[in-house]
């Protein structure tokens, strides 16, 4: 496969990507918009998903995983974005591997020099690249302390580099550059800025940030636009902006993209408990047991209508529902059909940057 320089390839490869998208079936386009837990090859081949998520327990036999990923990447018509959220500290997916058990957190390394942070990231990236991982769902660009002077959940877990552009950007930028040295690209999180004290995956979380504070949090992401390939949304509700989870807010998703038409905007896990509670009604006590597929389908629809390009799901068995929702929306609404095409183009653009797409000789020269 052609190895493409670590720069935007939109202009040079746009024609190739457009041609690929035009040749896809509606189901294949929908599949490209889905990021799912790593699954057997037959499943990946059937559903043509755009990417897979590697979790810690999948690394117990790293050589086996490496061989399986290589098999998938060489046999699928369009190779995968192979993702992991490797931060260090409490989110250390490499902990099962010799020499990687006790990697420092973002808070631990925030005081290091940029060169030291970069070479620390190089060490992690080298192992990820060896495994076949090409996307890191990191770094966290969220604040340690919110506008109300409370330590945030990311601060409590030591997952944050600090506060504001001046503290976060130098450290996070060095972190990203280290991964780029081994061809691992980064998607930052959790837009517009995880500023609550609670775990928004597990419980309803409301931000008290006013518009100025939200702009300040989002400004960190804006400062990183040239280094990242995507942004992951969060599920927090920002009263001052839109009283629904940010990931379902078209206003917030548009703000995350900020006019950057190459940027992938993606969801966190759509099976998260707080999103279930939102869809079923906050007061429902048995939301963990009662979750009809019809309600999940409505959630997927809302995530698409909000403008997200890639939808994450931790339950592979839900992928057919997601494909059906995306294809149905595109079939009845030309605007959504165009949105889906653009989302797939963004995803393929990143795959081209990674050298995953076959590029005809002479293109871009």
Concatenated DSSP letters of 9-71 = -HHHHHHHHHHHHHTS-HHHHHHHTEEEE---HHHHHHH--SEEE--GGGGSSHHHHHHHHHH
Q: Read off the pLDDT of each residue in 140-162 and give the average, rounded to a whole number.
A: 97
The pLDDT mean for the chain works out to 92
pLDDT at position 210 is: 95
Q: How far apart are CA 70 and CA 340, in angstroms?
A: 28
CA Rg value for the chain: 19
pLDDT at position 11 is: 56
Indicate the domain borders of the chain: 10-353
Confidence band for 4, pLDDT divided at 50, 70 and 90: very low
pLDDT for 3 beyond 60: no
* CATH for the stretch 10-353: 3.20.20.300
Question: Which residue would you say has higher pLDDT here, 86 or 282?
Answer: 86
Helical H segments across 132-163, by residue range: 153-156
Please report, for residues 214, 241, 311, 329, the alpha-carbon distance to residue 237 in angstroms, rounded to integers and kept in the order given: 12, 8, 19, 26
pLDDT at position 107 is: 97
Structure tokens at 21: 């998208």
Q: What is the pLDDT of residues 238-275, one digit of tens each?
A: 988 888 999 999 999 999 999 899 999 999 999 988 89
Q: List, in sequence order, every beta strand (DSSP E) within the chain.
A: 34-37, 51-53, 81-84, 135-136, 185-191, 206-207, 230-233, 237-238, 264-269, 310-313
In the beta sheet, which residues pair with residue 72? Answer: none
Report pTM: 0.93
């Amino acid at each position: 496969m052609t190895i493409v320089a670590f720069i935007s390839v939109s202009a040079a490869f746009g024609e190739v990507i457009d041609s690929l998208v035009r040749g896809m079936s509606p189901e294949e386009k929908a599949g490209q918009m889905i990021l799912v837990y790593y699954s057997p090859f037959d499943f990946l081949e059937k559903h043509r998903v755009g990417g897979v998520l590697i979790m810690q327990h999948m690394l117990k036999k790293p050589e086996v995983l490496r061989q399986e990923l290589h098999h998938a990447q060489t046999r699928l018509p369009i190779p995968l974005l192979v993702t992991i959220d490797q931060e260090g500290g409490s989110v250390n997916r490499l902990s099962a591997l010799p020499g990687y058990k006790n990697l420092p957190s973002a808070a631990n390394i925030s005081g290091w020099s940029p060169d030291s942070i970069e070479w620390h990231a190089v060490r992690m990236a080298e192992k990820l690249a060896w495994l076949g991982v090409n996307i890191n769902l990191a770094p966290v660009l969220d604040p340690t302390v919110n506008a109300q002077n409370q330590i945030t959940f990311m601060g409590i877990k030591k997952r944050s580099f600090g506060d504001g552009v001046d503290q976060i950007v130098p450290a996070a930028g060095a972190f990203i550059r280290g991964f780029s040295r081994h061809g691992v690209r980064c998607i930052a999180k959790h837009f517009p800025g995880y500023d609550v004290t609670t775990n928004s995956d597990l419980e309803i979380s409301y931000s008290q940030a006013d518009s100025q504070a939200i702009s300040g949090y989002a400004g960190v992401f804006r400062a990183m636009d040239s280094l990242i390939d995507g942004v992951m949304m969060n599920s927090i509700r920002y009263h001052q902006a839109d009283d629904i989870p940010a990931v379902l807010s078209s206003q917030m998703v548009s703000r995350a993209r900020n006019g950057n038409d190459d940027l992938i905007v993606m969801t966190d896990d759509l099976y998260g408990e707080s999103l279930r509670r939102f869809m079923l009604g906050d007061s429902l006590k048995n939301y963990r047991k009662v979750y009809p597929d019809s309600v999940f389908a409505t959630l997927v629809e809302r995530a698409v209508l909000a403008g997200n390009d890639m939808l994450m799901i931790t339950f592979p068995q839900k992928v057919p529902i997601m494909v059906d929702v995306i294809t149905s929306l595109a079939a009845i609404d030309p605007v959504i059909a165009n949105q889906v095409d653009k989302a797939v183009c963004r995803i393929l653009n990143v795959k081209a940057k990674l050298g995953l797409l076959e590029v005809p000789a002479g293109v871009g020269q």
